[in-house]
Amino acid sequence: MTPAAPENPVGQLPFLDDRPDRPESVMPVDSQRIIFIRHGQTTGNINRRLDTALPGAPLTDLGVRQARSLGRLLLPDVHRIGDIVTSHALRARQTGAGAVASLHHLGETSVRIRHEGGLHEVQAGDLEGRNDRDAHMEYMRAFYQWLNGELEYRLPGGESGADVLNRYLPTLQHLLEQAGATGGESKESKEDGSKDVVIVSHGAAIRLIGQYLTGVDPEYALRHRIANTERIELVPSAVDVGKRAGIEPGTWDVRRWGDSELP
């Protein structure tokens, strides 16, 4: 069940240059991470169709193979993972299920899959189902506005940036709290006993959330798309050494953005 939105809307939080300067991260390698993973390939991806409404298109055969390969990629860090959490979109659910099935096949049966609300793709509204250049330009125009702090800008008939953050961030906060509470004290856990938060979600949504939490340059976030089953990996920033990071801007640093280790 998705928790209620916080009392203070994200539009009132500091954004980008409103944050104080912060030092380079000195967090240890085994700090708790947020790992956002984009779903596997769908027919909508092949046709460049804006497919944002639930439940959405299923995975292609390649997408199924990508999901299975994702399980193998997660295997080295499986002791850091409690659940693989997905959005309610069919493609995200199938990607998470494929990764978990792969891990179970490899003998790692501790990882479970679950689905949470609020983690779905930016809703395209009147642009839904279109694959023409004008539709994509309008979608990316809104995305660019959001990356630059204009969160009230709204897609025609769809969501604003504030809408996306106000549904996504409370779920993320809930998952972070759960991962911190259930990490346990095994010798394989991190020092604070917390687990990584692994979310299978969607390209535009995870770039917006990743940029909001870290302050990555808007141009970088706009131009560096996340391919199918690639990830954005975040670690707590140096500002929050000694306390658990939350969902405020600037409390996380980027360790990986798609095919790049650092932006």
Q: Would you say 33 and 255 are in contact if contact means Cβ atoms under 8 Å apart?
A: yes
Of 100, 80, 88, residue with least CA distance to 35: 80
Cis check: omega of the bond before 249, within 30 degrees of 0: no
43 marked among binding-site residues: yes
Bridge partner list, 201: 38
- Six-digit token pair at 214? 């870290």
What are the residue numbers of the active site? Answer: 39, 121
166 marked among binding-site residues: no
228 marked among binding-site residues: no
Of 218, 49, 56, residue with least CA distance to 135: 49
Bridge partner list, 200: 37, 86
183 marked among binding-site residues: no
207 marked among binding-site residues: no
44 marked among binding-site residues: yes
Q: Give one DSSP letter per residue of 91-157, joined into a string.
A: HHHHHHHHHHHHHHHTT----EEEE-TT-SPPP-GGGTT--SHHHHHHHHHHHHHHHTT-TT-B-TT
41 marked among binding-site residues: yes
Q: Would you say 244 and 183 are in contact if contact means Cβ atoms under 8 Å apart?
A: no
- Rounded distance, CA 248 to CA 255, Å? 18
38 marked among binding-site residues: yes
Please give the annotated binding residues, written as ranges. 38-45, 91
Please give the annotated binding residues for substrate, written as ranges. 38-45, 91
